[in-house]
C-alpha cells in the first residue's frame, strides 16, 4: 500500500490557507493575476471546494476558516523554530 502524502496541489492550497488572518472574519486575500500560476490555480481550487468566496481568494467561508485554522496549526507544529530540544 503506498504511503499517503500531500500532493503538490494540496500543498499549494495549504499555503494559500496560511495567508489568511484568523483574528478577523472581515479580512480576505486577493491572489492577483500576476501571482505565480500555482497560487492562482490553488485559489481557484479552494473556491471550487467552497472554502473561499472568490476564485481569486476573497473571504473564508465557515468551512474555509476551519481548514485555515487546521493548516495554520499544522504549520506551527511543523515549524522547526517551534521545536524544543
DSSP 29: E
- Mean pLDDT in runs of 10 for the chain (85 residues)? 88 97 94 96 98 97 97 90 57
pLDDT digits (tens, 9 = 90+) for 1-21: 778 899 999 999 999 999 999
Identify the residue whose cell numbers are 503538490. 8
The whole-angstrom separation of Cα 22 and Cα 43 is 17
pTM: 0.87
Amino acid at each position: 500500500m503506498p504511503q499517503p502524502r500531500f500532493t503538490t496541489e494540496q500543498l499549494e492550497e495549504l499555503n494559500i490557507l496560511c495567508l489568511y488572518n484568523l483574528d478577523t472574519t472581515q479580512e480576505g486575500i486577493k491572489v492577483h493575476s500576476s501571482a505565480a500560476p500555482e497560487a492562482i490555480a490553488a485559489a481557484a481550487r479552494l473556491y471550487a471546494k467552497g472554502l473561499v468566496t472568490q476564485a481569486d481568494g476573497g473571504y473564508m467561508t465557515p468551512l474555509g476558516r476551519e481548514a485555515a485554522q487546521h493548516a495554520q496549526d499544522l504549520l506551527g507544529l511543523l515549524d522547526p523554530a517551534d521545536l524544543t530540544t
